[in-house]
Chain A
């Protein structure tokens, strides 16, 4: 079946450095690519999303890039801060379902 693969599963970066998380999807008809952040004990919340008619979208320190030919999209966080520590999930629609990656646990080191 269709799936979404996310890498890495765990990522540790020094505070102030950048973090990049990558996802690949299999359904070529997918046209919407969100990223969710889940802090410990809380619900996932949307932090940024992109539709297939653009290649990049930026919102302050976070950005998402999309390569439809290669069927992958990435989350970029610059100037990381302690509050960026969380689990991040990518997702993509396939048919009438929304499928999530397995998540990346991001640790920001002091």
Chain B
């Protein structure tokens, strides 16, 4: 069953703690993305990666970090430096990226709440 899997679905964190959100895909896609979704704000790009061992900052990268050690995995760490981390986080992948991008396939999302 091919697709993109995010975990956990719900996560609670205390202020000052780092937390890592998992994103795995078995679609053999090159490009992977992390978006943050807040009410009325649409989908804002945090980080993206076109190829293994390479990634770039999106529009709201401050307070986040990522790694791309394997093609199928693109974990996102929300650090204590992120001032307002409570949000819905969506991971996505596409066969290729950039101006030749095609359909994005999204995971089911991870809802992070900071207590």
Contacts and interface: CB of A to CB of B under 8 A. Distances in A.
Taking residues whose C-beta sits less than 8 angstroms from the other chain, chain A's interface range is 20 to 34
A36 B44 CA distance: 14
Nearest to B109: A43
Given A89-B42, A96-B50, A100-B35, A32 B101 contact: yes
Nearest to A10: B40
B56 A96 contact: yes
Contacts of A1: 59
Measured as residues with beta carbon below 8 angstroms from the partner, the interface class of chain B is 20 to 34
B43 interface: yes
B98 interface: yes
Interface stretch (A13-21, A44-52, A61-69, A71-79): A44-52
Nearest to A9: B40
A103 B42 contact: yes
Interface of B: 33, 35, 40-45, 48, 50, 56, 58-59, 90, 94, 97-104, 106-109
* Top-3 shortest CB links A-B: A102-B42, A96-B98, A100-B43
